[in-house]
């Protein structure tokens, strides 16, 4: 069956039409500048991208345009909307309510709305996409796939913060974790590449993109992850600080006469390798600059060192590790980062093979045959995971 996968941002919308039997992408595309002027890039499988700039006042119009492209006699991939069996929506925050994907009902929409406080930029955009699809295709089953769901198996010792317990009880302040669809896909794929079952392995997934998070996946279940109540905690990211002493917030606010919101904005948008290097949030730019710029070189080291520290923590949390998988923009493409991070892991008996590590964007074992821990490069595929979960539920 054909599944339409929708990933909505506040002014953008990514889509893929996936045949769930063959797992082939029939078409994919992107609507940008929704509510501003509008730009649509549509790409049927095996053909060139088609770029248009139709008026796109809101998400409903954007989705209408996507459906027109998918059924277009020339550039379309299906004859009519009857050939689409279901829609799978990526939803960023499902709180504690959603431990797995679910069919979208009015009740589910209300529950997603209740999670808006945790993801005020992301969840409302997901809901706009859901409501727009509901309006345009009222009889089609829809499924919500949550970024947080895979992490709901974490034990209390991993998800509780050491602050007064009443804040957890009253407001749900706890670790939720994100990128769950990616961590789920990559941990399962790593096991498949190794010819083993996820239930037999302790795996650390390093999702290293512009946003970055690690997860400890023990026997197929997530037991810890580095992002927290929000996607700000944990690793050093493109523009996000990751972990820091919470007292820094008040210190900077006092020194610079800023409000708490302004400091939060700095931690989310002006920190990470961008803030540290002063060069860019794009790791390729920082790497190029690092050749003759010590500050940029330090920024890369801080990033890699933090990843290595978390790997150590998760090896301890699981009392061992069988496999470490690198994924997302940097993890899939940057062999140098993978090599430097792996150098920290000698005590685990992990040995990277420089020749095998010379890969970009493909499934590969990159450790030596005698490495005690398997190191892997595994391109993530969140859209396929959303299509699989959607097909399974409808």
Question: Could you tell me the smallest distance in angstroms from the CB atom of residue 367 to ligand AMP?
Answer: 20
Give the x/- contact pattern for ligand AMP in 370-389, rule: CB under 6 A: --------------------
- Would you give the distance in Å from CA 340 to the centre of its chain? 23
Give the x/- contact pattern for ligand AMP in 201-220, rule: CB under 6 A: --------xxx---------
CA distance 136 to 130: 10
CA distance 103 to 389: 10
CA dist 270 to 39, 88, 275, 278, 280, Å? 27, 33, 5, 9, 10
Our CB check for ligand AMP shows the closer of 19 and 336 to be 336
3-class SS of residue 370: coil
Question: Could you tell me the smallest distance in angstroms from the CB atom of residue 89 to ligand AMP?
Answer: 20
DSSP state of 35: T
DSSP state of 378: -
Query: Is residue 185 exposed (0-12), middle (13-18) or buried (19+ Cβ within 10 Å)?
Result: buried
Window 229-268: residues binding ligand AMP (CB under 6 A)? 238
Give the x/- contact pattern for ligand AMP in 316-345, rule: CB under 6 A: ------------xxx--xx-----------
Task: Indicate the pairing of strand 84-91 with strand 2-8.
Answer: parallel
Contact 142, 89 (CB under 8 A): yes
Task: Indicate the pairing of strand 202-208 with strand 323-327.
Answer: parallel
178: contact with ligand AMP by CB under 6 A = no
Marked catalytic residue, from 19, 82, 147, 369: 147
Question: Could you tell me the smallest distance in angstroms from the CB atom of residue 334 to ligand AMP?
Answer: 4
Question: Could you tell me the smallest distance in angstroms from the CB atom of residue 385 to ligand AMP?
Answer: 15
Residue 285 is among the residues annotated as catalytic for this protein:
no
Our CB check for ligand AMP shows the closer of 63 and 186 to be 186
Give the x/- contact pattern for ligand AMP in 272-291, rule: CB under 6 A: ----------xxx-------
Q: Which residues bind ligand AMP (CB under 6 A)?
A: 209-211, 238, 282-284, 328-330, 333-334
Residues annotated as catalytic are: 147
């Amino acid at each position: 069956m054909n599944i339409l996968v929708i990933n909505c941002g506040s002014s953008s919308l990514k889509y893929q039409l996936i045949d769930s039997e063959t797992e082939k992408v029939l078409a994919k595309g992107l609507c940008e500048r929704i509510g501003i002027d509008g730009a649509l890039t549509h790409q049927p499988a095996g053909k060139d991208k088609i770029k248009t700039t139709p008026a796109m006042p809101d998400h409903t119009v954007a989705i209408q345009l996507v459906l027109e492209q998918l059924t277009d006699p020339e550039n379309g991939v299906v004859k009519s909307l009857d050939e689409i069996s279901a829609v799978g929506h990526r939803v960023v925050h499902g709180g504690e309510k959603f431990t797995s994907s679910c069919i979208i009902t009015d009740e589910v929409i209300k529950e997603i709305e209740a999670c808006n406080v945790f993801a005020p930029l992301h969840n409302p955009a997901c809901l706009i996409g859901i409501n727009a699809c509901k309006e345009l295709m009222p009889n089609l089953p829809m499924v919500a796939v949550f970024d947080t769901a895979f992490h709901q198996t974490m034990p209390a010792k991993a998800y509780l913060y050491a602050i007064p317990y009443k804040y957890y009880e009253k407001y749900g302040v706890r670790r939720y974790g994100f990128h769950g669809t990616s961590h789920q896909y990559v941990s399962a794929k790593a096991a498949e590449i190794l010819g083993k079952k996820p239930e037999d392995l302790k795996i650390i997934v390093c999702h290293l993109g512009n946003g970055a998070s690690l997860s400890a996946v023990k026997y197929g279940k997530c037991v810890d992850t580095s992002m927290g109540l929000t996607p700000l905690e944990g690793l050093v990211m493109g523009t996000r600080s990751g972990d820091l002493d919470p007292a820094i917030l008040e210190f900077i606010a006092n020194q610079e006469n800023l409000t708490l919101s302004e400091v939060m904005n700095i931690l989310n948008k002006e920190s990470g390798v961008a803030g540290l290097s002063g060069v860019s949030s794009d790791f390729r730019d920082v790497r190029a600059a690092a050749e003759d710029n010590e500050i940029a070189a330090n920024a890369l080291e801080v990033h890699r060192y933090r990843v290595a520290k978390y790997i150590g923590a998760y090896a301890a949390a699981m009392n061992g590790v069988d496999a470490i998988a690198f994924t997302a923009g940097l993890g899939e493409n940057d062999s140098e980062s993978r090599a430097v991070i792996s150098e920290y892991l000698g005590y685990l008996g992990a040995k990277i093979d420089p020749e095998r590590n010379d890969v970009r964007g493909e499934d590969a074992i990159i450790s030596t045959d005698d490495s005690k821990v398997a190191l892997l490069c595994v391109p993530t595929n969140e859209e396929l995971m959303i299509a699989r979960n959607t097909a399974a539920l409808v």
